[in-house]
Structure formats: C-alpha cells, structure tokens
Structure 1
Amino acid sequence: MAQQEVFTQERRKRFDDLPEMPEDRPALLLSAVYSGEERKVYLKFYDPRDNVIYHWRDRTGHVPYAYSKIQYADTVDQIVAKETKYKVERMKKKDVIADQEIDVLKITAPDPLSIGGTDNSLREKVRCWEADIKYHENYLYDRGLIPGTYYVRHGDKIEQHMYKISDKVEFELKNLLWDKIKEEGEGGKEYRQYVTTWANLLNQPIPELKRVAVDIEVESEEGRMPTPRDHDRRVTAVGFAGSDGLRKVLVLGENMVDNGKPLVKEAEVCKNEKELLEKAFAIINSYPIILTFNGDDFDLPYLYARSQDARISSDGKAIPRDAVPIIIKKESFIKHGMQAEPVGIRHGIHIDLFRTFQNRSIQIYAFSRKYTEFTLNAICEALLEDSKLEFEGDISDLPMQTLAEYCMKDAELTFRLTSFGDNLLMKLLVVIARIGRLSVDDIARFGVNQWIRGILYYEHRQRNELIPRTDELHEKGTASTAAVIKEKKYRGGEVVEPTPGIHFNVVVLDFASLYPSIIKVHNLSYETINCVHPRCRETGKIEGTTHWVCQQRKGLSSLLIGSLRDLRVNYYKFLSKDKTLPAQERQLYNVVSQAIKVILNASYGVMGAEIFPLYCLPVADATAAIGRNTINATIDKCKELGIEVVYGDTDSLFLKEPSQESINKVVGWAKDQLGVDLEIDKQYRYVVFSDLKKNYLGVLPDGTVDVKGLTGKKSHTPPFIRNAFYEILNILGRVGSQKDFESAKESIKNIIQRDAKNLEAHKIPTPDLSFNVMINKSLASYGKKVNSVKTMDGKASQIETYKGLPQHIKAAKLLADRGKEIKAGDIISYVKTKNGDGVKPVELAKPEEIDTEKYLEAMESTFDQVLGALSFDFKSVLGKPRQQSLDELFWSKPSV
C-alpha cells in the first residue's frame, strides 16, 4: 500500500452509527468533539450503569463565530458581501478592559476553518475577538456544559443533574460562607455565589470508569526504528490490562521464534497480523476509555496505519476503515519524532498518559516530584515501586513467550498508573476537567495554562463579556520592577539573607497559598490592573510598583482563584480529614483538594507567561510586589515579638526557637492585618545556612535530610556520586548536637577523598560512572556527522564528529552507527572521555579513556549543594587551593 494512500481515502462519518444517550439516566460528560463531515459537535457521556459512552449530536443549530468591534464594520461588510457564507448580527457585550457595555458584530460561519486556522479565514481579514478558540470548546462554553459532571437527557434537551450532598458537608459549607469569608456588599454576595457553585460542582461523586490500557510491540530492523508514517514492520504483540480484570496479550505466531516454553496464561497466538489486529480492535471497541503511554505518537497511529496496509494478510486486503476504532489525523504521521497530534477513539476517549505525566504541574504538585524522568519505567519505579521486564539483546530476537510477558507487563504498568491510590489519577483528571471546563482527554494532554484559560473563558461567556485579546492586555503596560533572575521579566519573590551557621529547633512558617490569597484580597486580575478609572490611579496604588488596581469592581481572576483558594484551605482540607464522613467521601475531598492545589500553584505564574492567552505582566509584577511586602511586614512583626527570623524565601519564614504562644500571635496578626493564612510547614532538628541564598540544609526530627535542590538524588547522576551523596546525607541525619559535627566532618572528608582516589586510579567500574539521560525525540531529528580538520604534528587530517549536540545524543548516535536501534524514550548511558567527542556509550568505553577531571567537577557541583550550606570547601579536601581552612567546616559564623 502506498505510503500516502492512508491520507487520501474518502473520510466517512465518524459517529452516525454509535448509540445515542438514553433518556432520564444521569451520565457523566467526558468529552466534546467536532465532526467535520457533519459540521456538528458530538458530546460523549459515560453511563455508570452500562459502563459505556453514549453520544449526543448537537440539536441547537450552534455554528462557529467570532466577534469584531463596530469600528471595523466597513471591513466586515466588505467580507460578507464577497463571501456569502458569513452572516452578521449586531449585539451587546461587556468590554472588560473599557469597563462598559459596547456594540459588537457577531460573525457566524458554517465551519470552524472559515473563522480561523487557514490563510483565508476570517481572523486573517479583520480584527477579531475569540476567533482562536477551538470550536468544541466554544460549544461547551456557550451551552454552559461542564465536563466531569452529570447530565440527563429529556427529549431533545440535555440538562445538568446534581446529586445531593450530605447534610454534614452542606453544614460545613455554610460555616465557611458565613463564618470564614468576610466579604461585604455586592462583591461579597457574588463571591459567596462562586464558592457555593464550586462546592456543589466539586462535591459530585466520581464513578469507577471502565478502561483498558493498550501497549504494542513492533518488530524492528537493525539500526532503524519503526514509525507510523512508514508502517513497514509487523505488529508482533498487543497487550491489554483492564479495570474489569482483563489481562490479555495477542501474539503474532507467524514466523515467530518459539523457545518451547509454555506461553503465559494471558497470551493468545494469532496466525497472521490481520487476525491479531482484528482481535485487538474488538477488545478496544469493548472499552469506553483507552489508555496508552505515548499512544498519540506511536501505538495508536501505528495500529491504524498497519490496519490499512494490504501486507497484513495473504489475501492482500486491509481492514475496512469502519471496523477500525481509531480516529487519526494526517499530522500524526507527518510529525513523528515531534509532538504528535492527539489520536481519538471513535466510540470513546483516548488518554495518553505520557502527555499527562509530562505535565510539570502534575509532576510537582500532584506527585511531589517523585519522578524526574518521563519514561514508563522511571515513573512506575517512583509511583508503583515496580518496573518493566528486562531482557538482553533486541526485541525482535525475543521468542514469542518472552515477548508476550514483556508486552503484558507494559500494559499492566500503564493501567496501574491510573488505578493506584484508589484510582487517584482518573479522579484527578475528572476533577480538573470540572474546574478547567475542558474535556477529560484534553485535560490529560494540556498544560496548566490551558486549564486556567478554560476557567476564565467559560466564566466570561456566562457573564456576556468579550474575552480580551492579547494585544489589548499588552496595552496595560509592562513590569515596573527589574528582574533579579535573568530569564524573568519582573522581580519575583523576596529572599531574605540567611544568618550563616547552625541553628537548632527551627520552625518553618508557610504562607498558605500566598499568591492566590494576594490575588483574592487585592482584587488582582487582567481587567482590574491599571484600570480606566482616574480615581483608582490614586486610591488603588500598589506599593513598590507603578501599578494600581480597580476599586470599583471585582476582577474575574480574583473571584475565581480566591473562591477556589478559600474552598481548599477552609473546606476541603478539613473534610478530607474528617473521620465522621465515609471513607469514600473523604477520599473524594482529598482528590479535590489536590486538584485545586495544582490549579492554585500555577495561577500567579501563568499571568507572567507569554504562552498564556491572557498574559498580563503587570498582574504578575503586582502580585510579586505585594508578596514581598507581605513577607517583610511579617518579619517586622516577628522582630516586634522577639522572634529571630534566620531565613525567608518567597512564602516561607524560618523562625529560631519560637514559642507556641508567639507563633499563634504571628498567625493571628497575619490573618487579621494581611488577609493571609500562616501555618507550620516543617520543624527542623537543625538547619545550616551558608552565605548563599536558596542554599541550606535541614534535618527533620526523624533524621531525614532536606537539601534545597537535591541534584545528587536525580537518576541521571552517576551512581558512584549518587551513592556517596546518600552516605553524606545519612551521616548528617545522625547529628544531634554541635559536638556530633566533628566526627561527621571527618567522615564526610574520608568519603570524598576515597572516591576521588578511586576515580583517579580507574578503580570505579565504568557503569558506576554513567550519566543516564532519556531521549525525547527520534535521533533523525538531530544533526548529522560533520567533517572537521584536526592538525597533528603539522599534518592535517579529516575526522568525523558530532559537533554541537547534547552529550547523550552524541553517545546515542555512536550506538546507532554500530547498528543499535535507538528510539524516543530510550535511556542513554554514557561516560565522559578524554578523546573523540568527549563522550562514549558505557558499553563502548574503556577505563583508561575516562576523563577524571570532568568527574571531579561533577562531584564538586553535586556535593557543593550540601557542603556549601555547611561552609565546607570541596577542593580543600583534595589538597587543592582553598578558600578557608578545614577547621571552618560546617560553620563559618557559629550561632548558638
């Protein structure tokens, strides 16, 4: 079958033969998709009773549109006169920047591409508003539909269905509204309404979602990775792991190596590839939700491409397209090696967990940075304490029995990433969909800036407000403070100079959700910052900046982020720990609390990120400035109460030996005077500071050592350095008094000298010297060898080298040159050498080639994070020039 033939086949209707939503049965809205063939949006509802997804085609006559302002009426009239597909309607909208109601032109079109997305679309011809929103999102906003919540069909109408929450939970909500939220007047009424709406929405139950994880294996060719675009290698195995207990792996029996061992019980041998694919599609069709790990980029597009290839069976016939459940886009083939287009499932939804776990907000705030690499193996080791099966050689050489086990294990691991912690990840995605107003499958793929965009866009539509353009927000001005960090555009949080030395009994007070609290209390939003009202310039000035904030109306960000913040701090954190509630309810409230935390922690940052559609630098600048004022005012209060503050960083204060009474006074003062909540975050047995900011070491009561930035723990660090790092942490964890530091000092010095000596003597095994880094895209997308001239003894010679490439890519290309298959997601283990490209794969390197100086530098940069906090000089231990004597180890300015 020709490579491009799959792109040119006539497209059929996607959803016309799928079951529609039955009447009077609550179902969970999971997704919305646009069918270009029918020019309609289809909604996908999950029915908890039948464990299937029902579809609902739009019956409202909704069409794509954009807005333009009256001053562009002449241009709009010319477009409409020339292209009759456009229709124009005059209407009223609230201009949030000008703070007034205005007349606008609503321009409708028969399809989304007529509005935006091509060189000939409307937004390329006239200044438009809201022309860059995906049509299926527009539909959800206009219909007031919220994914992750329940709806019931009554005839031709879809209506929201709300389950009643328990009396106790309702009572706690009323306590929050009236006792803890001190908002007065009309603004207070609006604020309480948002809190109530959020709570009723987020308290809805989440059903068990039937799903299956899919993983495929494809035969490989020496030195080349199979790609969906080429799809010239056979699918040899497809593994499945389902929420209903299904464990199955389909294995290709045709021409496969058989080692005589019995197959795993879950395996079924298929006589040819066509049979294997047909059986795989039958299983996929029986599940409403399909899970993959990197399935957008490889598994699903490859299955689709092979299904349309006549070579899959001896009869020379491909599988009919209407028997293939996978919805593919041309870009998914073309962009292989880059970030692929989302791949859909006709009857259900597809969630690519690779995209989900790549999301930094999920990584940091939902899973506390437990994983640092984005491979299936690294994530499973961190979260599940389990890993992929290991094998020697190439996957194409595996006997079918081993291949079946390997594929089955990958499918099981993929599924378990969604099932551990009482289905934590699936529930988290549903809750974030409720907050972000986006389809669950979109939430799984989008970054947090898109989630927050969804919250704001949805509310603007409900309030009949024109969503501001990016260039309008640029006119609000720029930052009025100078950045301290090079890549930033404004000054960030306050970092208080540490008091160098050792400090025992240190309590860390944390400002709970500091920036969201500031956004709420100070009414910060892109429409209220630097507003149009002359009086606000005088009455709403923000200390430390040239900005002012509106005093006449509530900002949307302030209302939404503030109400979510109050719910988390005063409601969900309490409910999740209330043992008088059923365990299932408590678990839901814990998930909701985590989901809100993920959103809140990004709510300030997105305003200062150019990728965010509502990017407004003055908001970020003002928020940071108020944060600095807040922490400095609190430090002054601590001094007034006689509390010594030994360090402060953005939203935390380190207090030395404070009494509980003094802590209570500071907490109460901050709540009353600043509108922020302080809470005890950590209590250290001792903390050691150097003269450097953001460089400290603390030991918790249980002996756990807490070091800012812990690169020594990262998996790409060579094992011998990582092991020594843990040895040092264990020594420090046993220190209980100042006297203990003398022996700790000698032990740490001995570890460093031991490893440096073994390194220079080439006694450290090569695998222990390896840096281990993942390849994020195919090797083909990187550069090629270049010729360079090397002069030796006055003679010129041509050599080939990989100049300008990252070290792990140089190593990977050296392996590929020797015929090893390298693909995106592989971990490359390499060592630093004195010759060639300065790097070699572990398996190709000899001990005498190791560049010991580079490894000493790596040791120093890693250990300095600990030793620097202790005012300890790495070079002095090795007998090299030093900045201070060894007697000064651990403290340069003793503090008793």
Structure 2
Amino acid sequence: MQSTVNMSIAERIRMLCSDTYSLAPSLLVSATYDGEKRVAVLKFYNPDDDMIHVWYDKTGHKPYCFAMDEQAVLDGIRDRKDILAIERVKKADLLNDREVDMLKIVATDPLAIGGTEKSVRNMLRTWESDIKYYENYLYDNGLVVGLYYSIEDGVLKRHEYRVAENVDLALKKLIWDSIADDKASSEEFRNYLQEWAKLLNQPIPEIKRVALDIEVVSEDDRIPDANRARNEVIAVAMVGSDDRHEIFLLNRKGNSIGSKDALDANVSVRFFDDERELLRSVFSRMLDYPFIITFNGDDFDLPYLYNRALNLGIPRDEIPIALQRDSATVKHGVHIDLYRTFTNRSIQIYAFSHKYSEYTLNAISEALINESKIKFEGSIGDLPLYELANYCYNDARITYRLTTFSNNLLMKLLIAVARIAKMPIEDLSRLGVSQWIRSMLYFEHRRRNALIPRKEELEQKGHASTTAVIKDKKYRGGFVVEPKPGVHFNVVVLDFASLYPSIIKVYNLSYETVRCVHEECKANIIPETEHWVCKKRKGITSLLIGSLRDLRVNYYKQLSKDKTLKAEDKELYSVISQALKVILNASYGVMGADIFPLYCLPVAEATAAIGRYIITSTIKKCKELGIEVIYGDTDSLFLKGPSREQIESIAKWARKELGVDLDLDKQYRYIALSERKKNYLGVLIDGNVDVKGLTGKKSHTPQFVRDAFYAVVDILSKVNTEQDFEYAREEIRRIIKDYASRLKNRKIPLEDLAFNVMVGKAPEDYKKTMPQHIRAAQLLQEHGKREVKAGDIISFVKTTTPPGVKPVELAKVDEIDVEKYIEYMRTTFDQILGALGYEFDVILGASKLEDFFFTN
C-alpha cells in the first residue's frame, strides 16, 4: 500500500475504500451496498496491518425475490427496465414438506425489489423481498461474518486455522456421547455440531480501535442539534488501542487555560485557532483506525461532526463519516455505538447479568468498570480549557475501557455472536437478539435452498389451545410455583440448564414440525395442547438451537475450565459460551414474540406447555422422594433441605425421563419468601445476599431508601440461625425508625430523596398518560433549565405542591411530601418484613401510619 504522508484526506479516504485484489487471511467484519456501483461491498479486518480492506463484488450477483403467480408477474412487471430477468427455480417448501416451482425476479438494484411505492413487493405477492440486499449476498454466498477469508486475484477464499488437538478430541467425544445418549441422534444433528464448532473455534484477533467523544458549545444547557450543527465543536478526545491518547482543543478567546495537572501525563493536547483545522485533524486521525467506538455516536457525535464540517465548508469527500437512516458509519471502517449495544436487553441481562439498569455512560461505566464521568458546575463552554480537555478525555477513556475490560470481552463477544447470527458487526451491535436469530435462520434456509415462508402462511398453522393467564398474552406461559411465605433455612436451587433450548431440541419444535402436514404424526400430541409434532424429519429450529445448546452445555463450558489449554484458548471458549448463552436464553422469548418474522403461535405455545409439563412432573417426583418444594420460577426449583443423594436422584431422573439437565445453581443459608412471586431475599452460604424483585434494590429508588434497605440487608446477612433473628429484629427496628425520623424532620438532603428515572421518549411525545418523571421534565423545560430528550435521566422529588413532583433543581426541602416517602418506605420494607413476620407500622411504633405523624 502506498505511503499516506503527503496525501490529502480525500485521497486517503479513496485509497482506503479502493477495491482489494490480494489479501492475506483477514476477518470479515462488515457488509454493505454501494448504490453508485450497484454491488455488494465487504470489509475485511487484517490483523497483520491493523487495517480494513474493502472488496467489491465481482460475481455479478443481483437483488431478487420470489413470486408464484406467473400471470401476475407477467402482467405487472415483465416490461420494466429495472427487471433484469424472470427465472423458473425450484425451492424446498418446509411448511408443506414438498418442492415448489417459483419465479425468481432479478432486478437492477435493491429499491426495485422493496423500498419505494413502485417496488415489486408492493405490486405482487412475493417471498423474501424484505431482506436487506447485503444480507442476501452473505446468505447466498455462504459468507460468515467473523470468519477469515483470503483474496487471490480478486476471488474470496475461506481460510481455516487449526485448533488444538485436545479441543478436537473434546468435540469427537461430544459427538460420540450424543450417539450413546440418544440413539435417534441423526447424522444431520452431528454435522451441525461439527459445523458450529469449526466456525466458532477460529481465533479472535485483537482489534485496533479508537474511542471518540466530542464536546460542543451549548446554549442554556440545551443539547445541541446534531442535524443543524450550529455551535462550535470545542473539544474532541480520542483514546486508541495503540496507546495514543489525544485531545483536539479549540483555543477560544475569553476562556482561561486552567491547569494541566489534572490530565494524565500520557495525554497529548493539540490546540487549534481554527475550528475547520481541528475537524480536519480529527478526520485525518480517524483514518488511522479501522474501528471507531462512540457512546451515542449514531445520534450525536458522528452526525454533528459531519454536519458541522459541511457548515464550515469542508467538502464531503474529506469527511470519513457516512450518515444512514438511523445510524452513522465510517467509510473506511466500522463504527460501533456502545449506547445501542448496551441497551440491547439480552446483552444487559445475559452477557452482563443485569449489573446496570440505566443506559447512561455514567451508569454503565460505574456498574461494569467502576469508573464515572467527571462532574462539574456551570456550562461546558465556560470550563477552563484544560478542565474541558480532561472532561472530554475522561468520557472517551471510559468509553474505550468498556471495550477492554475482562480482556476485551465486548469486542470478542460481538465477533462470536456475528459468527452465530451471520450478521455484520455494525448491525448486530445495534439490533436486538430477535434480528440475530432471524438472520441465523434465514442463512440456514438459503443453505438448504428452502423458501422462507411469509408471515400469513405461519399464521394459518393454527390458533392457541391454552388460555393465557397474563393479559394480552396469546397463550399460557411458564409455570411459577406459589411461594411458601416465611423464612426457610438450608435451601437449594436446582436450575434446568437451558430449559427452553433443551425442549426445542428434545421435542423437535420448529415452525414446520409443529402441526406438520403428515397424517401419521397427528397422534404425537404435545402435553396440555391440541398440537402434534412431526416424527418424520428434524425441524430447522430444533437442529440449530439444539446443536448450539449441546455445544454450550457439553463442550464450551468444559473447555473454558480445561487446565491443559493455554489461557488465551480457555478465554476464547469462555467468550463463546457467553455468546451462546445470550442467544439461547433469548431464543424462546424471540420465538414467542409475534413481531418475529418466523413467529408461529403453536410452536410458542408448545414450548411453554412442555416447560410446564417438565416443571410439574419434576415437582411430583420431588414429593415422591420426600423433598419439599417451597418455590419455583419458570426454569428453577427451590428445595428445602434436600440431601446430596436426593439431589443426584432427581437430576438423574430428569435426564432419563424428560431429556433435560438439572444443575445445582445456588445454596442459601436461608431465604425469606414474600407472598409475591419473583420477590425474595436469600443469604447464600458465603454470606452474600441475593435480592430479587424487591423495590429497595431498584435503581430508580431514592438513595436514602436504598441506604436504609441495604443497612437492613447487611443485618440479615449476618443471621446464621433462627435464634439470631431476635437480635436482627431489634437492629432492623432501630434502622428503620432512625431513617423515618430523619425524613419526618426533613434532615435528608434533596438529592438523596430523588427518584431517578430514564426518559423513554421525548416529553412532547407523551400524549395520553403523563408519568411523574415526564411532569418533572416539563417543569425543567418550562423554566429553561435544560432540554430533555429520550435517554436522559430525570431526578425528581415528590412534593406537596402541584403537580405533586418537582425536578431536584427546582425543589426545596420544605416542599417534600414526607407522607408519600414514608408510604414508599413501607412498600419497600413490607416486602422483606412480611417474610420475616414483622410489620412496618409496628416497627415505627405506630398502630397505623397517621399515628406516626402525630407523635414526637
């Protein structure tokens, strides 16, 4: 590659985006479509030169869809200039277990298929016309994002690295075990195990990247408009994986320079008198990195830089940023917006164990890396220059650290998920898990030359045969055992390992196998339903989810603990196991959601029904063995005082009779169950406290209630015997009385009384109902304090003044509605105290709440 020393930014962008004809093995990371050239474009990351290389399709692949009505096709589109060909093809129709003749409509560009009023899909009944073109390209060519490919004379060639011998032996053992355990284990299933392992075991390289954060002058503390970009960019910080830490600072007259002492010694500060030169320098530096990392860069940082550059007269070909409908990318590489990634519920819950509950940079950083944003008084534009530099640098630094903690866990996780989902990293880092599973299934349909069914075809499969317990659900969900309220000592929790994926595998559940077309299968009824399952063929979902489940439980979890493997190999297998956990745990929820493209109600209902059957059968077996079940929640059972032999006996029975694995999940010294489901407090054997669903734990709860709650939890963690409760009771009484008294006497600071709630959408978008935090947000805007947008956290207190709430910035201590806060304390503590046999009002020394306010 030629030297870039004397190149202009525009020339460098052109060079970095030029076609590649020869390339050493590199990781496929992204795919897109070039509208001018009318071809698919792939991006490969080369670990040797730390650059992304762009490859333009040379196979002549074109956009297409399918139709069945020949006359409608001929009458509607035959003479259109954007239709290149109409071909007769044969496709496998999995729904009806037959081969069908289809018409393949080939077009000049994706918009001819879908996206405009005159698109083919708006004129005909079509199949597969709502898939992004570059996804089609990947599926048709069997290209897997996250795998290695070399390029020779412009032609792609898949490259595979050899894995360690004992890793290969472990896979062979898994395959032989699957034959021994299940004589019906088909060769097809074993092939899936091998294929998955082959692609997942490929090494994951270190990714060169830079985190970027910008600061902009704001007026009246309002967030600047990224589309108009009228205000100056006053600072840009970039923190790179190559240890380059830079701040680009606008030298504004009237701002003091401040002290450089606050900045780390390794930070380079570059001052600019001209904002255009600052932006050009930032763009030039961005080109040194194949991956750009931001937090909310889709909505703010990148569109602001792009539009500000245009406003200042910088030509488009000197701007490395490209704006899309709802995201932003970089022409030469990949942009990952961590805000979009961390708001993914499956990432939040299954990858990071719900450690964060708010989606701000500060909340996520505090939870995952124990770092925070820097607080300051006043306006960002008034800060001394070095203080501004430090503030901006800190944001970029913690953004970068979110991709490096636990040895680059997040980056590795994204690559592992890309291999499973068959989806570009930029897409999967922004889209929910339902889109990952959709892409995985679509890829598999293409591999089999199978037609992807239309939604209404799946709707014709049938109705629900059970009645939903929860309002607005279309079928009956999982089984929850009623809790036995009170304190229970020596409690063991048994967890059904990957329950729903196991059910999907063992019972052969898939859209084409549930209520299949074969008469001879109709006797194979699913318990508690009117549905039956196919006995003649394995379902596509059953094979995919089942093989992934077996690999995670019986292969990767073991490999991640194998002491004979190198540390980096064990780490890779741990990451893969985590990626599989995210997808597997979400699979049932996705398939039970009617917005999922392959949603099939009988499948969702069958999965839930079998889950209930497994739980109730296991409870029945526990009773036979003399084990008391005190609670059960969807895929786990809480057992009181079982022996080791009893645990082993129930696990062995479940595996043999039900085809599912029961694992020992937790052991509690004691657990306090309230009457409400999914609400309990348990003290584990090691003294750690497990709090589920209780208000005092929730992030929006005021700090003073949380402090009181955790003070009580700390007392309970020290209880070892039933006799210890008497001392604990007195301590709890003292703590609650003390906090309530301070509240009554208005001795608690406003900020500790604040409810912190995230704004789900812009305040003006709330029409029918007006939640409390939105009322507070409106007061903020009315008083000109700041503009409020979706994603902001509103801190408000409950007041005796209309409308009953005020933002902390506008409230006074004497306006606090003490009675409402005492009521909130009661709601919080009754959940624990009820299970312990205490009463909140009795602890306060009042027979009823009103008495508390009229006693000294």
Work out whether the TM-score is over 0.5.
yes
Q: Match for residue 7 of structure 2?
A: none
Offset from partner CA, 1:854-895 (integer Å, 9 cap, x none):
212221222233223334433443466679xxxxxxxxxxxx
Q: Contact 2:455–2:598 (CA<8 Å) still a contact in 1? A: yes
1:78 aligns with 2:59: no
Q: Contact 1:13–1:37 (CA<8 Å) still a contact in 2? A: no
Q: Match for residue 193 of structure 2?
A: 195
**What is the identity, as a one-letter code, of the residue corresponding to 1:679?**
D
Q: Contact 2:672–2:832 (CA<8 Å) still a contact in 1? A: no
**What is the identity, as a one-letter code, of the residue corresponding to 1:294?**
N
1:833 aligns with 2:799: yes
Q: Match for residue 37 of structure 1?
A: 36
1:849 aligns with 2:815: yes
Q: Distance in 2 between matches of 1:404 and 1:256?
A: 16
Deviates more, 1:862-871 or 1:477-486: 862-871
Q: Match for residue 597 of structure 2?
A: 613
Q: Distance in 2 between matches of 1:140 and 1:490?
A: 36
Q: Contact 2:490–2:668 (CA<8 Å) still a contact in 1? A: yes
Offset from partner CA, 1:424-475 (integer Å, 9 cap, x none):
0000000000000000111100100000001100000000000011111111
Q: Tell me how many residue pairs correspond in the alignment.
A: 834
Q: 1:327 aligns with which of 322, 325, 328?
A: 322
**What is the identity, as a one-letter code, of the residue corresponding to 1:445?**
R
Q: Match for residue 622 of structure 2?
A: 638
Q: Distance in 1 between matches of 2:614 and 2:165?
A: 38
- How far off is 1:547 after superposition? 1.0
**What is the identity, as a one-letter code, of the residue corresponding to 2:601?**
L
Matches within 5 A, 1:378-777: 378-538=363-523, 540-777=524-761
Unpaired runs of at least 5, structure 2: 1-9, 850-856
Q: Contact 1:13–1:38 (CA<8 Å) still a contact in 2? A: no
Change (3 A) 1:186 1:109: farther
Q: 2:106 aligns with which of 86, 105, 108?
A: 108
Change (3 A) 1:668 1:833: same
**What is the identity, as a one-letter code, of the residue corresponding to 1:150?**
Y
**What is the identity, as a one-letter code, of the residue corresponding to 1:366?**
A
Q: Contact 2:674–2:831 (CA<8 Å) still a contact in 1? A: no
Q: Distance in 2 between matches of 1:147 and 1:66?
A: 23
Q: Match for residue 249 of structure 1?
A: 247
Change (3 A) 1:245 1:688: same
Q: Distance in 2 between matches of 1:213 and 1:730?
A: 39
Q: Distance in 2 between matches of 1:48 and 1:16?
A: 19
1:817 aligns with 2:782: yes
Q: 1:357 aligns with which of 342, 345, 352?
A: 342
Deviates more, 1:23-32 or 1:479-488: 479-488
Change (3 A) 1:625 1:676: same
- How far off is 1:835 after superposition? 1.5
Unpaired runs of at least 5, structure 1: 1-10, 311-317, 332-340, 784-802, 884-896
- How far off is 1:708 after superposition? 2.0
Q: Match for residue 91 of structure 1?
A: 89
Q: Match for residue 64 of structure 1?
A: 63
TM-score norm. by structure 1 comes to 0.90
Q: Contact 2:16–2:53 (CA<8 Å) still a contact in 1? A: no
Q: Contact 2:294–2:337 (CA<8 Å) still a contact in 1? A: yes
Offset from partner CA, 1:26-82 (integer Å, 9 cap, x none):
00000001011111111000000000000110011111111112xx11111112334
Q: 3-state DSSP class of the match of 2:671?
A: strand
Q: Contact 1:707–1:865 (CA<8 Å) still a contact in 2? A: no
- How far off is 1:836 after superposition? 1.8
Q: Distance in 1 between matches of 2:682 and 2:185?
A: 44
- How far off is 1:621 after superposition? 0.9
- How far off is 1:262 after superposition? 3.6
- How far off is 1:156 after superposition? 3.0
Q: Contact 2:687–2:717 (CA<8 Å) still a contact in 1? A: yes
Q: Distance in 1 between matches of 2:610 and 2:11?
A: 57
Percentage of matched positions with identical amino acids: 57
Offset from partner CA, 1:625-659 (integer Å, 9 cap, x none):
11111111112222222222222221111122212
Q: 3-state DSSP class of the match of 2:404?
A: helix
Change (3 A) 1:17 1:41: same
- How far off is 1:188 after superposition? 0.9
Q: 3-state DSSP class of the match of 1:606?
A: helix
Offset from partner CA, 1:696-750 (integer Å, 9 cap, x none):
3221112222222133123321111000000110111111111111222222233
- How far off is 1:13 after superposition? 14
Q: Match for residue 209 of structure 1?
A: 207
Q: Distance in 2 between matches of 1:782 and 1:512?
A: 42
Matches within 5 A, 1:163-312: 163-182=161-180, 188-222=186-220, 224-255=222-253, 257-262=255-260, 264=263, 265-310=267-312
**What is the identity, as a one-letter code, of the residue corresponding to 1:859?**
M
**What is the identity, as a one-letter code, of the residue corresponding to 1:128?**
T
Q: 3-state DSSP class of the match of 1:425?
A: helix
TM-score norm. by structure 2 comes to 0.94
Q: Distance in 2 between matches of 1:804 and 1:690?
A: 31
- How far off is 1:756 after superposition? 2.5
Q: Distance in 2 between matches of 1:632 and 1:368?
A: 28
Deviates more, 1:260-269 or 1:553-562: 260-269
- How far off is 1:507 after superposition? 1.1
Q: Contact 1:504–1:687 (CA<8 Å) still a contact in 2? A: yes
Q: Contact 1:256–1:399 (CA<8 Å) still a contact in 2? A: no
Q: 3-state DSSP class of the match of 2:271?
A: strand
- How far off is 1:772 after superposition? 1.6
Q: Contact 1:873–1:882 (CA<8 Å) still a contact in 2? A: no
Offset from partner CA, 1:467-515 (integer Å, 9 cap, x none):
0111111111232211222242221111122333322111111110000
- How far off is 1:230 after superposition? 1.6
- How far off is 1:186 after superposition? 8.3
- How far off is 1:693 after superposition? 3.1
Q: Distance in 1 between matches of 2:93 and 2:151?
A: 35
**What is the identity, as a one-letter code, of the residue corresponding to 2:584?**
L
Change (3 A) 1:17 1:744: closer
Q: Match for residue 858 of structure 1?
A: 824
Q: 3-state DSSP class of the match of 2:286?
A: helix
**What is the identity, as a one-letter code, of the residue corresponding to 1:548?**
W
**What is the identity, as a one-letter code, of the residue corresponding to 1:863?**
F
Offset from partner CA, 1:541-590 (integer Å, 9 cap, x none):
00101111111110011000000000000000000011110000000000
Q: Match for residue 315 of structure 1?
A: none
Q: Contact 1:249–1:266 (CA<8 Å) still a contact in 2? A: yes
Q: Contact 1:497–1:693 (CA<8 Å) still a contact in 2? A: yes
- How far off is 1:183 after superposition? 7.2
Q: 3-state DSSP class of the match of 1:41?
A: strand
Q: Distance in 1 between matches of 2:598 and 2:281?
A: 47
**What is the identity, as a one-letter code, of the residue corresponding to 2:375?**
E
- How far off is 1:14 after superposition? 8.8
Q: Contact 1:295–1:352 (CA<8 Å) still a contact in 2? A: yes
Deviates more, 1:182-191 or 1:661-670: 182-191
Q: Match for residue 790 of structure 1?
A: none
Deviates more, 1:744-753 or 1:671-680: 744-753
Change (3 A) 1:260 1:535: closer
Q: Distance in 2 between matches of 1:256 and 1:55?
A: 46
Q: Match for residue 853 of structure 2?
A: none
Change (3 A) 1:183 1:682: closer
Q: Distance in 2 between matches of 1:713 and 1:186?
A: 47
Q: Distance in 2 between matches of 1:16 and 1:610?
A: 46
Q: Contact 1:709–1:865 (CA<8 Å) still a contact in 2? A: no
Offset from partner CA, 1:276-307 (integer Å, 9 cap, x none):
10000011011000000000000000000011
Q: Distance in 2 between matches of 1:836 and 1:432?
A: 50
Q: Contact 2:149–2:156 (CA<8 Å) still a contact in 1? A: yes
Change (3 A) 1:25 1:763: same
